[in-house]
Amino acid sequence: MVSFDRSKPEEALVLVAAAVGGLVVLRAFLCFLGALYSTFLRPAKNLKKYGEWAVVTGATDGIGKAMSFELAKKGLNVLLISRTESKLVDVEKELAAKCPKVKVANLAIDYSNFDKAAQEAVSKALSDKQIGILVNNVGISYPHPKFFNELTDAEMEGLVTLNVTSTVAMTRLALPAMLERRRGAIVNMASAAAVAPTALLSGYSGAKGFVLKLSESLNVELAPKGVHVQCQVPLLVATKLSKVRRASWDKPSPASYARAAVACIGYERTCSPYWSHALQLWVMDTLPFFLVNEVTYGMHLGLRKRALAKASKSS
């Protein structure tokens, strides 16, 4: 038993501080071990148990396209949804050639105008398919970091419509059949910007924060009914949306990210599947809050300055 001299209260403070510090270090270490297991050792679930079909929005580029291919490799039929019909046809042909044993269908939908007619078209496309997995991937970010008051009305409306409204509407369309069968998985793509304040991307951070909290709350509601809802919070991936041209250890290719992302389906309610993203978020969670904010703010100020300088030269 640890004892201390009551005439020296500073000894008690030292012991308490040491105990708290030890618990913080232990928590960080256990989180790190958990991330290692889930990233490298944990077996993927049999996704076909959720149903015969997967639906992927924003399926013709980047993460959405890569996840469509990865889900097809797991034996699921895939319904590709995106805006441009010609791209959908090309991706459908490519996917059918690489995974000839699965069925592939496509539907052209513009989520920036996801009105009643468009929602009815999606509902009709889903009605004759046993939808096991829905991947809400479609979304939009800033052209470059901006202060909130610099956003145009159209930019702000697009952030809400493509990131929030599409996710809510697609979930409501796919969910009833999943509940009826008591089987299904919904994967909502958010961003690391949803986890921590992200200055100069405030509108995007807020929209993805909505997706994060919606997903976490829905999972509590729906898990007892057989439907698992997961929110994935990636950092940068080498896609057109992120404007990252080359993949690297901390910015994976869409294919590398998709392999990790699909392997996580059915497990955590919130995750950052790719190992380097998980590592970066672990570091961010361990560092002081103010320090992470200052580093992010400074980085985005620099990106904004370069973008404005480039625009000034081209005008």
Positions annotated as catalytic residues are 204
Q: How far apart are CA 142 and CA 158, in angstroms?
A: 10
Burial of 267 (0-12, 13-18, 19+ CB in 10 A): middle
Chain CA centroid to CA 208, Å: 9
Q: Which residues pair with 53 in a beta bridge?
A: 77, 131
Beta-bridge partners for 80: 56, 106
Q: In this structure, is the dihedral angle defined by the CA atoms of residues 242, 247, 248 and 250, taken in order, positive or negative?
A: positive
Contacts 24+ apart (CB under 8 A), 116-121: 119/169, 119/173
Torsion of CA 252, 256, 262, 267, to 10 degrees: -50
Report the C-alpha gap between 263 and 258 in whole angstroms: 8
Structure tokens at 127: 């009605």
Tell me the C-alpha distance between 14 and 35, whole Å. Answer: 32
Residue 78 backbone zone (phi > 0: left; psi -120 to 50: alpha; other: beta)? beta
Bridge partners of 106? Answer: 80
Provide the edge-to-edge strand list for the sheet that holds 184-189: 104-108, 77-82, 53-57, 131-136, 184-189, 227-232, 270-271
Say if residue 99 is exposed, middle or buried (CB neighbours under 10 Å; 0-12, 13-18, 19+). Answer: buried
